[in-house]
Amino acid sequence: MTAGRLAGGRQRRDRPLAPGRKVRRYEGGRFVERIETVAGECATAMVYNGQDFAVLMTSPEHLEDFATGFTLAEGIVDHASEIEAVEIEDVVLGVEIRITIPAARMAALADRQRHVTAGTSCGMCGILSIERALRPLPTLPPAPPIPAPSIERALAALPATQTLNRQSGAVHAAAFATREGRVALVREDVGRHNALDKLTGAMARTGTAAEDGFLVLTSRCSTEMVQKAALAGFAVVVAISAPTTLAVELADAAGQALIGFARQGGFNIYTHEQRISAG
């Protein structure tokens, strides 16, 4: 198997860790500047014998290992020795992993209906091309800033609204909070993407407008969460865990304020800090 080669025979190295990013942190009732490291994320297209198969969001390290493990886990081949070549090509919007397998295996792959189950981390497993996975997002319009104390109030109130999580300890929540910090609508699911889809569906059914408040997520905030939030019209997204590099880039381009590490006592603002006020 040929692995770790770029087109033209160049050796590909894992991308370095993302450099520190300056963020504005709200803590103790005031804003301070600090440097945070943001986890890398890239759109990774799986291409077998020249045919698009799926796009997954991955960390950009050890992609040769990922190609082999994914191919085996999906039952595309039975043994790693059947993988004839792996080429990894950096493309404009992400990375293509080009995998060569025997013709018989490719024929079987083309015949079957694909059901990719890449855990609960992907959220884009039915998408076949990077262009579709990273479609342009709307530019969110200006709006009066959300007061930082409102975000703190919503974070404090959210646990009491998480009925399923109190019973099981195993589900995520997506919540709509008003500009005053009142948690007005909550949906829960074992999948963070599903929880957000449920919330936006409930908002559509009840006529609740995203611009009238902000989104709170009990999970990390990666690319697909930013995309879903922007398409729903949320100009402010608050996540209790960290964002990824690509999520930050997409939020910035869409005009969305992306907040991470939101806990009692403070939070980090990664993009569009003008959408958040001190009080």
Q: Please report the pLDDT score of residue 121 as a whole number.
A: 44
Question: pTM score, two decimals?
Answer: 0.73
Q: Annotated catalytic, 122? A: yes
Tell which phi-psi region holds residue 250, choosing left (phi > 0), alpha (psi between -120 and 50) or beta.
alpha
Tokens 């709307």 correspond to what residue? 138
C-alpha closest to that of 267 among 41, 32, 19: 32
Q: Please report the pLDDT score of residue 113 as a whole number.
A: 43
**How far from 131 is each of 93, 127, 140, 253, CA to CA, in Å?**
7, 9, 21, 16
CATH 3.40.140.10 domain position(s) in the chain: 146-277
Q: Please report the pLDDT score of residue 12 as a whole number.
A: 47
The residue from 42, 122, 125, 221 that is catalytic is 122
Q: Which ranges of the chain have pLDDT less than 50?
A: 2-13, 16-17, 113-121
Q: Does residue 42 contact residue 66 with C-beta atoms inside 8 Å?
A: no
Residues pairing with 237 in the sheet: 215, 258
Q: Which two tokens stand for residue 214?
A: 């902000």
Q: Please report the pLDDT score of residue 267 as a whole number.
A: 97
Provide the b/e sequence for 105-144 (b: ≥16 CB within 10 Å): bbeebeeeeeebebeeebbbbebbebbebbeebeebeeee
Q: What is the DSSP letter of 136?
A: P
Q: Please report the pLDDT score of residue 26 as a whole number.
A: 95
Could you report the per-residue pLDDT of 187-225, keeping only the tens digit for each? 998 778 879 988 898 888 889 999 999 999 999 898 989
**What backbone torsions phi and psi does residue 49 show, to the nearest 5 degrees?**
50, 40
Helix (H, G, I), strand (E, B) or coil at 276: strand
Residue 202: enclosing H or E segment and its boundaries?
helix 192-206
**What backbone torsions phi and psi does residue 216 show, to the nearest 5 degrees?**
-120, 130
- Integer Rg of the chain from CA: 21
Highest CATH level, class, for 146-277: alpha beta
